[in-house]
Amino acid sequence: MPSQKEIRSRISSTISTQQITKAMKLVSATKLRKASDAIVRMRPYAEKLKGIMANLQDSIDDPQLAVYFQPRKVKKVLIVVISSDRGLCGAFNSNVIKRTRLILTEKYAEQTKAGNVTLLCIGKKGGEFLSRLKYTVDSTYMQALTVLDAEKAFEIGEHILQSFRDGSHDQVELVFNQFKNAATQILTNEVILPVIPQVKTATANAGRLNDYIFEPNKVQILQDLIPRSVKTQVYRAMLDSLASEHGARMVAMDKATENAGELLFSLRLAYNQARQAAITREISEIVGGVAALEG
């Protein structure tokens, strides 16, 4: 059995750890509220943008727009991996990394073997880990989540669009955690380029008027709208990931605080047992000494 001094030392360190995890939980809860508000405000805009795209997609056969919609033979792939800058958030980062490696080994096995897959990592944890695995990692925007705003996200979106337009990559895919609530994150991967036209249902067509007057015209509107839509998807994914990170960290720190409490209970019980054993031993020694003197 450990000595009383050792148990006291463990109790002290556990209390300190519990205070840290409790504080981190409160900080994450505060940040989560702000991040979740941002993604909730962003989603209606993104959905409306998709609706406008659906209204205008009849013009996608125009040669000026073919670069965004025309499927290519997938030789070079860009995967945008969104993780976090810090740890202590449960399986948040490991899930993203596992999904990325699964995509590399199954979906893009041929391109990976040929060295034609580039990982654009947003977030240091994913970028550093995947770099150690000897994958081709673009770390240009690895710290973009430090101060996240629309301008930075749109800059990343323009970088992605440019690499697709100039033929550097034939397909672009996002891997990120989609925020559902504080306790649930949905691991998601989706192709954002080339743009996949939405399928119009009969119900949707019945409720949509087709006699709009477009100014300047559909093609010019789409030339601006398609890049904006891609950039918005990148921004939405970054907001989703940030909110998911804070939710995952809050849950992880809450569980860590709870586990620290259980450990403290066990340590205090062990300390009391050790203390009682020491007292009993001392009494036995005193009784033995008295008996020896009387004898």
Q: How does residue 210 score in pLDDT terms, banded at 50, 70 and 90?
A: low
| 0.85 surpassed by pTM | yes
Q: How does residue 48 score in pLDDT terms, banded at 50, 70 and 90?
A: confident
Of 97-106, 203-212, 230-239, the one with minimum mean pLDDT is 203-212
113 has a pLDDT exceeding 70: yes
Average pLDDT across the chain, whole number: 89
The CA distance from 12 to 28, in Å, is 25
126-149 per-position pLDDT tens digit: 999 999 999 999 999 999 998 888
- Comparing 81 with 4, the larger pLDDT belongs to 81
In whole angstroms, how far apart are CA 231 and each of 38, 77, 115, 117, 243?
16, 18, 26, 21, 19
252 has a pLDDT exceeding 70: yes
199 CB-contact burial (10 Å; exposed 0-12 / middle 13-18 / buried 19+)? exposed
92 has a pLDDT exceeding 90: yes
Tokens of 202: 């009969």
% residues pLDDT > 70 (the chain)? 91
- Comparing 200 with 47, the larger pLDDT belongs to 47
- Comparing 287 with 164, the larger pLDDT belongs to 164
pLDDT for residue 196:
78
Which has the closest alpha carbon to 182: 85, 247, 227, 134? 247
pLDDT for residue 4:
87
276 has a pLDDT exceeding 60: yes
208 has a pLDDT exceeding 60: no
52-80 per-position pLDDT tens digit: 776 666 666 677 777 888 888 999 999 99
Catalytic residue among 24, 32, 35, 89: 89
Q: What domains appear along the chain, each with residue ranges and CATH number?
A: 29-197+211-249 (3.40.1380.10)
Nearest 5°: the CA angle 158, 118, 93 is 90
pLDDT for residue 203:
47
248 has a pLDDT exceeding 80: yes
Of 82-96, 147-161, 205-219, 223-237, the one with minimum mean pLDDT is 205-219
Q: What is the mean pLDDT of residues 248-262?
A: 96
Q: Respond yes or no: is residue 121 known to be catalytic.
A: no
Q: How does residue 206 score in pLDDT terms, banded at 50, 70 and 90?
A: very low
147-164 per-position pLDDT tens digit: 888 999 999 999 999 999
- Comparing 65 with 100, the larger pLDDT belongs to 100
